[in-house]
Amino acid sequence: MPANFMPSAAEYFRFAPEIILTIVGTLVMILEAMTGDRDKSSLGYVSLLGLAAAMAAAVAANNDPGLAFQSMIIVDGFATFFRVLVLGVGMLTILVSTNYLSEAKANSGDFYALILFSVVGQSLMACANELIMIFIGIEISSIASYILAGYLRDDRRNNESALKYFLMGSFATAFLLYGVAWIYGLTGSTNLGEIRTVLSHGTAPTAMVGISAALMLVGLAFKVSAAPFQVWAPDVYQGSSAPISAFMSAGPKAAAFAVMVRVFYTSFDSISNQWEPVFWIMSLATMVIGNFAALQQRNIKRMLAYSSIAHAGYVMVAVTSHSAVGTAAVMFYLASYCLMNIGAFAVVTWMARDGEKFVEVDDFSGLAQKQPFVTAILTVLILSLVGVPLTGGFFGKFLVFKAAIDSHLMWLAILGLLNSAVAAYYYLRVLVVMYFREPGASTVNLPPVAGTLRVAMLVTTLGTIALGIFPGLILGFATQSSTLGK
Partner 1 sequence: MNLLDITLILPLAAFALVLFLSGDAAKKAAIGFALIIFLVSLGLLGPTLAAPAAMNFESNVAWIDSPAIRYHTGIDGVSIWLILLTTLLTPISMLISWNYIKERVPQFYAYLLLLEFGLIGVFMSLDLFLFYVFWEVCLVPMFLLIGIYGHDRRIYAAVKFFLYTMAGSVLMLVAIVYIYGKAGGTFDYIQILAKLHNGQLHFEPAEQMWLFLAFFIAFAIKVPLFPLHTWLPDAHVEAPTAGSVMLAALMLKMGTYGILRFCLPMFPQAAYNARIPIITLAIIGIIYGALVALVQPNMKKLVAYSSVSHLGFVVLGLFTFDQAGVDGAVYQMIAHGVSTGALFMLVGFLYERNHSLEIKDYGGVATCAPYLSTVFLITTLASVGMPLLNNFVGEFLVLQGAARVNIWWAVFAGLGVILSACYMLWLYQRAFFGPVSHEVEHHVTDLTSREWVTLIPMIALMVWMGIYTQTFLPSISASNTHMLGQVQSKEIANAR
Binding map of partner 1 across residues 418-457, x = CB under 8 A, - = no contact: x-xx--xx--x--xx--xx---------------------
- 8 Å CB contact between 79 and 483: no
Q: Does 405 bind partner 1 (CB under 8 A)?
A: yes
30 binds partner 1 (CB under 8 A): no
Beta bridge pairs of residue 66: 75
# residues near partner 1 by CB under 8 A: 34
Residue 304 identity: L
d(CA 206, CA 223): 26
Choices 156-164, 229-237, 331-339, 394-402 (CB under 8 A): range interacting with partner 1:
394-402
Q: Which of 313, 321, 322 is nearest to 283 (CA)?
A: 313
Q: Collapse the DSSP code of 387 into the 3-class scheme (helix H, G, I; strand E, B; otherwise coil) and give the result.
A: coil
CB-wise, 228 or 389, nearer to partner 1? 389
Assess 390 for contact with partner 1 (CB under 8 A). yes
Q: Per CB under 8 A, does 362 bind partner 1?
A: no
Looking at beta carbons only, is 174 or 410 nearer to partner 1? 410
Q: Does 389 bind partner 1 (CB under 8 A)?
A: yes
Which residues on neighbouring strands pair with residue 128, listed in sequence order?
73
Distance in angstroms (rounded) separating the CA atoms of residues 465 and 323: 27
Give how far Cα 350 sits from Cα of 45, 378, 380, 428, 457, Å. 20, 11, 17, 20, 10
Q: How crowded is residue 485: how many other Cβ atoms within 10 Å of its Cβ?
A: 17
Segment interacting with partner 1 (CB under 8 A) among 55-63, 211-219, 247-255, 392-400: 392-400
Measured from the CB atom, is 339 or 413 closer to partner 1?
A: 413
> Does residue 413 bind partner 1 (CB under 8 A)?
yes
Whole-number Cα distances in Å, 36 to 26, 31, 154, 471:
16, 9, 21, 46
Q: How many CA atoms lie within 13 A of 49 on its CB side?
A: 10
Identity of the residue, 241 or 307, whose beta carbon is nearer to partner 1 in the bound complex: 307
Question: Binding of partner 1 at residue 472 (CB under 8 A)?
Answer: yes
Work out how close the CB of 174 gets to partner 1 at its nearest, in angstroms, rounded to a whole number: 40
Q: Nearest approach, Cβ of 320 to partner 1 (angstroms)?
A: 16
Q: Is 366 in the site for partner 1 (CB under 8 A)?
A: no
Interaction between residue 414 and partner 1 (CB under 8 A): yes
Q: Is 388 in the site for partner 1 (CB under 8 A)?
A: yes
Q: Which of 266, 295, 28 is nearest to 129 (CA)?
A: 266
Q: Does 369 bind partner 1 (CB under 8 A)?
A: yes
Query: Minimum CB separation from partner 1 for residue 472, in Å?
Result: 6
Q: By CB under 8 A, tell whether 383 contacts partner 1.
A: yes
Cβ neighbours of residue 1 closer than 8 Å, sequence gap 6 or more: none
* 113/26 Cα distance (integer angstroms): 7
Using CB under 8 A as the criterion, which residues of the chain lie in contact with partner 1 when the complex forms? 368-369, 383, 386, 388-390, 394, 398-399, 401-402, 405-406, 410, 413-414, 417-418, 420-421, 424-425, 428, 431-432, 435-436, 470-472, 475-476, 479
